[in-house]
Structure 1
């Protein structure tokens, strides 16, 4: 029989991206469908998703592209950006990312595909990197403790404000801010203060500021050090005045400057915030960058964000863990003081490695060079006849140009130089690590009068005085721990980073089956553009005509997301999912106020909701009313109806998660929307589970008014060990005017930006990672996105079906099916054997798996989300592990394994334990280490055994472990 020659179209499919993203091939999909009892993906979709919400038409998006085609297209977009030399400063500075860090952290999936380190035993490497970050921030600021990063400097300042309100003894309601603070920080402070009823007072003049300090009507005071326009001052005496009035002193600072300057902790600061961006993290048009908060030890239990601490494992060895986890929002809920869910782990790791690489001497040299160039520049400008406003500075000069301002700015534009123009007409120049002698000469040429002779760098260097007063020079040592004084050659740093990565489990090694967190493929082609200079080296305040590429990228991505969700407008400013929630609720709040209904402040939230939901509502000044769920995990319709009627006059919103947090498509979502609208409220749909909806259903079409999306979940931005995240806010047209506005001075507006308050420091949040989601949607195309959703549904139901003889799936929806995740109920097994969900989670480490989500949303359960990008082989590997674990539990049930001395109770097992001369357990070593034969071919060994959580919370220690501790361990 003659063979048919394949068509060109058939042959072109070999390079289609959809098949590279979706794990199972078509034959495997058919086999899996047979297992779950449905003939096709379409039939399965119809069986799971209620007809009332299914989209009748395919997504109006282009067809999928190959990786080469998509890279070429985004390359053309990037080429529209112009990379000028930016001396704008204002919290953002040029920096050199050491290539060894660029390649082995930012571009390394072992680091960027890791999950938040909730499971301590398989997160020791990234937690060591984060504790280095904490030590770095504490040392440089002169404070006692620092957290493991926050989203950006502006939101860190806002968190400091609310921490001061909780902690200060003062009864005042006013937060006082020195006027020469970065404008974006002032914007976000205003946003946070207003819904909470806090009075924010910004005082511009120095004399008026000191008068306000003396008056004492404030609970906290914030200053920028160095100031936004460059000057530096010793705030020690002012700190004493602030403390005398029982208020807290907050300093927003610059870590590089603190290598030379007297640290805030030595001036009496209570809380210190800032950004670590200039420690090797690219500008990226505003983010992502790791902010920090450092504070006095007395405030550590109230400090927002994550905190890495040191505990011990079951062998008594030091081990890192997330400490004080009871502060997490899924526990504190409406009592939470912050809605922080993600941090900026990947960027914090980069900054920490920058400090490890350069060490204290290297940082001092880098800072010293910046300060020296600044002094030389200032002396040359004075020689050219210009008035330098401030006598002191680290890296930023403020110039009063007089009548020459327009001429100077035009010359700068012609020389492809960006300067900062302040509202009073003065011009600021900020130097940084990347500044060269040639840059200083170019700046002199811009400011020089026609025909004027330019100064000589070397000549001025010989006599120009330092701009750092003697009283403000740092005298205390910093970064004395050996980790910052050992890895200064590339070989040593490379091996150190590799050693840390080898301790962890990330997506490059194994499936991470976390329910509600959507850990799926972060394709290399999607990641590549973020390091291109045309995206990475753009200042967020660059003039609009230099960022045409970003304008196009942002506009196209907003349109893509609007099409996927059925909404009308999108803001990309929120730089985490929780920030997106907050932006959405602020829009609802402003909408009600615009209609004369500002009294509406009741927010209904089902008890199954994500913990950030009630925290976000509280931050918006809303009162949370919790509604019940029924025995099947669905929201209780009668309780919602009752609550809506009871609070009809004041109902502001309901916050739903759909599909539900319990992993099912509830039938009544359209009716819920109708009920809430009938009583004057708005419907907020949490977008955390959008991976079950794209191409299948659109929240904006079934009655929802607003959603946040998690680009770090559904749209493939990697989790980075707990950040970065992006949480766009998508709304219907009536809420669009209330989306976050652009920073007033950045000259850039897009259709997706409204006139509401800013929620993050940069107009487009973490702009430099937006190419990842643009690439994902472009590569998948309309049909690919729908198929991805359908396979996500299939994979979850396949796992649920295969494990049904061994574990009960707690909640199911239509036709006994789940959505994109399933909850495995371990509680009956614990009741019978004492083996609980945590034991199963720890035992999975011995099989080389990250555990599913533990005890959320139901205590004693495991929530599993396989995503669409896991292959059938990997799904079966996980299923085999879970079945083997169930067999071990049965062995406990029937007495073949001891109830206490069994491999689940003692998991995970380290290589040191199973190779030791003495084996203290009744079960064999081989069962501990190699419970399945396949593990003998490829085995992950956890670096520590089970970590003692209670010990870590009772003995909070959040700094680098002394080297002596390791020596004692070896002895």
Structure 2
């Protein structure tokens, strides 16, 4: 027996083999199929030599991988530098209690957080029902006709509302007014969004809205205002509508349980966020924003919308509705570039509403309001004046002792809102109790040199509602049975389990989606997200309380710079679409700084993802489409021709690399040189970064700016369709133009705020609380592991492509028939012969327990497969077996052994109800339907519904909780 040395025994318990699915032996077997001796040899054949890194990836202190426990300990030491204080800053962010049953069974549950966007509705029924619940909560509380499946945050929701009313309204004006008590971070995001599309944003005193005489297309109001005022805007809305203007209201959901909803007093669109419905502060995100509007505007509304339809058997089913509104179909004609939502957080907020029910929510709201009234009376008894005599949960205090009050509050572990030298703001929330009220009174009493004594019983008996009686809510809300059934924890636990059981997520199976990179979201990466040092920090807390957060963020920025080859990174964009938007704004600002603001032409290959042209349109650029050759590569001759044609006005090119077709194009460096020669910038879309990390970097082969998808390449889970993070990375010449947030005092260290593009998200660091996931991933993988992950992703993709090639044509390949990290299989020849479509194959895969690959993108009639590095050979072979079996079924259709309309593919997916019914009308057997391969007898997922009827769902649009008769 060979003796093991002490050094070997001391070897670290590494994370790398836990993240990378195939073992060394499995990799050797796959390489043998491909005809390569080593992974390195395969990479040499796949990746063009002229873009390869000259040196190894340098991650500095994180070059060597950390074991899981060491990484957790290091991050914990960083997090411990944060000070977790009682934040009463308000300004759109509040303390809240996440019910433990929701924390454990949604937020910390991989069945929920590893799911993908519900584009395949039959295997997404659980989260679709939860999204419908969220939409119902929003429509009920706002009093509007329809709400979408969530927005990225309140600021971007307000910006989308502004563009919505400009589209659907009748006014020709380009002026948009914002009340001066709108959240300052919201105003800044609106200003950023308005500038490139020629909208003039003007602020107006909230008290003067009713007397507004100037022509405008819309007004944005806050309800209640940032300083606490609860204003009656009914007359103002009537006058604005008479002038041809429309009204957007940013409203607090908890307040709407006791205040008259905006939909009842004239709002055309209502926006906000649902953070205080059980979602931790998280230094600003992720939180589910919302957007609700009149039913008349449902087809113009941005974002996703869940709806009700029927399946093939006529049973109720859920699906995403009106999908033709989405940007990847409408491209440069899109009204928004949003291609995601905040599903996981929207689900949490909806379940918070379900768990408490309407009575529980009102009780929380009335308790918060009562405490606010008691505190107001206490402060007034100490001699303080209040700016606002109406309020729900927020007070603004007039004082000459502002700094002294903040100092004493800080010493007592409390953060108050800093307004100016003569005003202090404070907001109460669900976590406020009698102890906090007594402490606040003492803080203000000490500053005034007076003894504070809060007589709760006396003050309670005297307390009255501190908002106009006309604004007291009288309408019912959350009347649906769903909001009355699950108040007991056992019932809620089982409800959550029942929903999760209906879905397919990464905890059950690989999700081989091309362009989406559904990889392992390890437990060690997820654990820090719920640490109080990360989850309980207000985004506008003083800097000395966020030292650890900013250190972690700075290290992550440095990691991403090293990986990409760029000089600077901003983590503010909270989705890939927002990263794209920020990157194009940066390019635009750069050209303007050089006196070349006329440059507005954006070249985009015809194969690009739809967010590219949508984003370009949103920043005021003109899209010029360039051709692709027969191999799917950018046609360099056509690109050069159009670059020369538009040389004087060329702003940039947007190109995805490796290509959207899953190929490392040989001409990428030449493409960069062509565009640079004509004064343009090169935007490299980072969607396919999982094929580059450690092997090549866009900033090294000619890119000027890229967005990255941390929810793809860097292990933040997809959450059923969000959250995501889409940081923007830039070359040194563009660093000064990275986004800032002037309204909160945030700016990049050493940079000039004036040069930055302005805020693109409501929080300075976007979805900050999930950044530890990517930090942990990179720290545990190190340079060696990140490179190995890329190489293994490429190996896995080529193994699948080679194994499937005899059965399905692989549409685009590079040298030696190799692909990058994903491959496209062409179903069109088989469809021409048999009538079997890629959709039929996608639905049949559900019977095998698999989520379908990406359908019809970038080529109609195809499937794009990306296995990622996290899938073992066993799982790859299971998928390959399913695909080969499906091909054999298609061949039977071709030979006439199966009817062209009555076959296992057209009948898929097969539910347990269908398979076990007494009446079986199909020509193929029940066994073929349910157990097409033997392994399914031991491990079977049953789709909960049959094939969803998309046409019926759009023609009979219904986007709330299922009809009550379904529950009777």
TM-score grouping bracket, smaller chain normalisation? over 0.9
Distance in 2 of aligned mates of 1:645 and 1:479:
60
Tell me, yes or no, if structure 1 residue 657 matches structure 2 residue 661. Answer: no
Tell me, yes or no, if structure 1 residue 435 matches structure 2 residue 432. Answer: yes
Change over 3 Å in CA distance of 1:470–1:639 after alignment to 2: same
C-alpha offsets along residues 805-834 of structure 1, whole Å, 9 cap, x if unaligned?
101100001221000000000000000000
Task: Tell me, yes or no, if the aligned pair for 2:192 and 2:757 is still in contact at 8 Å.
Answer: no
Match of 1:23 in 2: 21
Identify which of 405, 412, 416 aligns with 2:413.
416
Task: Tell me, yes or no, if the aligned pair for 1:544 and 1:747 is still in contact at 8 Å.
Answer: no
Match of 1:719 in 2: 718
C-alpha offsets along residues 613-664 of structure 1, whole Å, 9 cap, x if unaligned?
0000000100000000000000000010000000000000000000000000
Distance in 2 of aligned mates of 1:934 and 1:254:
51
Match of 2:224 in 1: 226
Moved more, 167-176 or 834-843: 167-176
**CA displacement at 1:595 relative to structure 2:** 0.2
Task: Tell me, yes or no, if the aligned pair for 1:286 and 1:768 is still in contact at 8 Å.
Answer: yes
Distance in 2 of aligned mates of 1:112 and 1:745:
31
Distance in 1 of aligned mates of 2:211 and 2:6:
79
Query: Gaps (5+ residues) in structure 1?
Result: none
Match of 1:560 in 2: 559
Match of 1:257 in 2: 255
SS at match of 2:825: strand
Match of 1:902 in 2: 903
Match of 1:495 in 2: 494
Match of 1:54 in 2: 52
Distance in 1 of aligned mates of 2:6 and 2:335:
60
Match of 1:87 in 2: 88
**CA displacement at 1:329 relative to structure 2:** 1.2
Q: CA RMSD, aligned part only? A: 1.1
Match of 2:958 in 1: 957
Tell me, yes or no, if structure 1 residue 595 matches structure 2 residue 585. Answer: no
Match of 1:840 in 2: 841
Distance in 2 of aligned mates of 1:41 and 1:733:
34
Distance in 2 of aligned mates of 1:322 and 1:287:
25
Match of 1:446 in 2: 443
Distance in 2 of aligned mates of 1:911 and 1:313:
14
SS at match of 2:26: helix
Moved more, 408-417 or 522-531: 408-417
Change over 3 Å in CA distance of 1:753–1:866 after alignment to 2: farther
Match of 1:363 in 2: 361
C-alpha offsets along residues 906-932 of structure 1, whole Å, 9 cap, x if unaligned?
100000000000001010000000000
**CA displacement at 1:468 relative to structure 2:** 2.4
Task: Tell me, yes or no, if the aligned pair for 1:555 and 1:752 is still in contact at 8 Å.
Answer: no
Identify which of 289, 294, 298 aligns with 1:296.
294
Change over 3 Å in CA distance of 1:643–1:225 after alignment to 2: same
Task: Tell me, yes or no, if the aligned pair for 2:185 and 2:744 is still in contact at 8 Å.
Answer: no
Change over 3 Å in CA distance of 1:518–1:12 after alignment to 2: farther
Match of 1:779 in 2: 780
**CA displacement at 1:753 relative to structure 2:** 9.4
Distance in 1 of aligned mates of 2:818 and 2:46:
6
TM-score calculated relative to the size of structure 2 = 0.98
SS at match of 2:604: strand
Distance in 2 of aligned mates of 1:107 and 1:453:
43
* Count of paired positions: 961
Task: Tell me, yes or no, if the aligned pair for 1:739 and 1:753 is still in contact at 8 Å.
Answer: no
C-alpha offsets along residues 836-874 of structure 1, whole Å, 9 cap, x if unaligned?
100000000000000000000000000000000001100
Match of 2:865 in 1: 864
Which residues in structure 2 correspond to 1:60-209 (within 5 Å)?
60-61=58-59, 62-204=63-205, 206-207=207-208, 209=209
Tell me, yes or no, if structure 1 residue 406 matches structure 2 residue 407. Answer: no
Distance in 2 of aligned mates of 1:165 and 1:744:
25
Match of 1:278 in 2: 276
Change over 3 Å in CA distance of 1:751–1:55 after alignment to 2: farther
Task: Tell me, yes or no, if the aligned pair for 1:257 and 1:367 is still in contact at 8 Å.
Answer: yes
**CA displacement at 1:211 relative to structure 2:** 2.9
Match of 1:210 in 2: 210
SS at match of 2:878: helix
Match of 1:510 in 2: 509
Task: Tell me, yes or no, if the aligned pair for 2:282 and 2:768 is still in contact at 8 Å.
Answer: yes
Which residues in structure 2 correspond to 1:263-662 (within 5 Å)?
263-401=261-399, 403-423=400-420, 425-448=422-445, 449-662=448-661
Task: Tell me, yes or no, if the aligned pair for 1:310 and 1:320 is still in contact at 8 Å.
Answer: yes
Match of 1:948 in 2: 949
Moved more, 130-139 or 172-181: 172-181
Task: Tell me, yes or no, if the aligned pair for 1:583 and 1:729 is still in contact at 8 Å.
Answer: yes
Moved more, 528-537 or 461-470: 461-470
Change over 3 Å in CA distance of 1:8–1:203 after alignment to 2: farther
Query: Gaps (5+ residues) in structure 2?
Result: none
Match of 2:694 in 1: 695
Change over 3 Å in CA distance of 1:656–1:466 after alignment to 2: same
Change over 3 Å in CA distance of 1:424–1:597 after alignment to 2: farther
Match of 1:245 in 2: 243
C-alpha offsets along residues 26-77 of structure 1, whole Å, 9 cap, x if unaligned?
0110110011111111100010000010001111122111110000000001
SS at match of 2:772: helix
SS at match of 2:196: coil
Moved more, 58-67 or 935-944: 58-67
**CA displacement at 1:330 relative to structure 2:** 1.1
Task: Tell me, yes or no, if the aligned pair for 2:691 and 2:820 is still in contact at 8 Å.
Answer: yes
**CA displacement at 1:413 relative to structure 2:** 1.5
Task: Tell me, yes or no, if the aligned pair for 1:277 and 1:283 is still in contact at 8 Å.
Answer: yes
C-alpha offsets along residues 538-578 of structure 1, whole Å, 9 cap, x if unaligned?
00000000000001001000000000000000000000000
Task: Tell me, yes or no, if the aligned pair for 1:543 and 1:748 is still in contact at 8 Å.
Answer: no
Task: Tell me, yes or no, if the aligned pair for 1:261 and 1:472 is still in contact at 8 Å.
Answer: yes
Distance in 2 of aligned mates of 1:476 and 1:745:
37
**CA displacement at 1:4 relative to structure 2:** 2.8
Distance in 1 of aligned mates of 2:966 and 2:352:
25
**CA displacement at 1:7 relative to structure 2:** 2.5
SS at match of 2:655: strand
C-alpha offsets along residues 521-545 of structure 1, whole Å, 9 cap, x if unaligned?
0000000000000000000000000
Task: Tell me, yes or no, if the aligned pair for 1:543 and 1:746 is still in contact at 8 Å.
Answer: no
Distance in 1 of aligned mates of 2:517 and 2:83:
35
Change over 3 Å in CA distance of 1:955–1:13 after alignment to 2: farther
Task: Tell me, yes or no, if the aligned pair for 1:177 and 1:200 is still in contact at 8 Å.
Answer: yes
Tell me, yes or no, if structure 1 residue 927 matches structure 2 residue 928. Answer: yes
Match of 1:7 in 2: 5
Task: Tell me, yes or no, if the aligned pair for 2:188 and 2:741 is still in contact at 8 Å.
Answer: no
**CA displacement at 1:8 relative to structure 2:** 3.3
TM-score calculated relative to the size of structure 1 = 0.98
SS at match of 1:462: helix
Task: Tell me, yes or no, if the aligned pair for 1:541 and 1:747 is still in contact at 8 Å.
Answer: no
**CA displacement at 1:15 relative to structure 2:** 1.9
**CA displacement at 1:451 relative to structure 2:** 4.2
Distance in 2 of aligned mates of 1:424 and 1:302:
44
SS at match of 2:135: helix
Distance in 1 of aligned mates of 2:81 and 2:615:
38
**CA displacement at 1:473 relative to structure 2:** 0.7
SS at match of 1:135: helix
SS at match of 1:419: strand
C-alpha offsets along residues 197-253 of structure 1, whole Å, 9 cap, x if unaligned?
01111113623x3332xx251111110000011110121111111111222111000
Match of 1:873 in 2: 874
Change over 3 Å in CA distance of 1:710–1:248 after alignment to 2: same
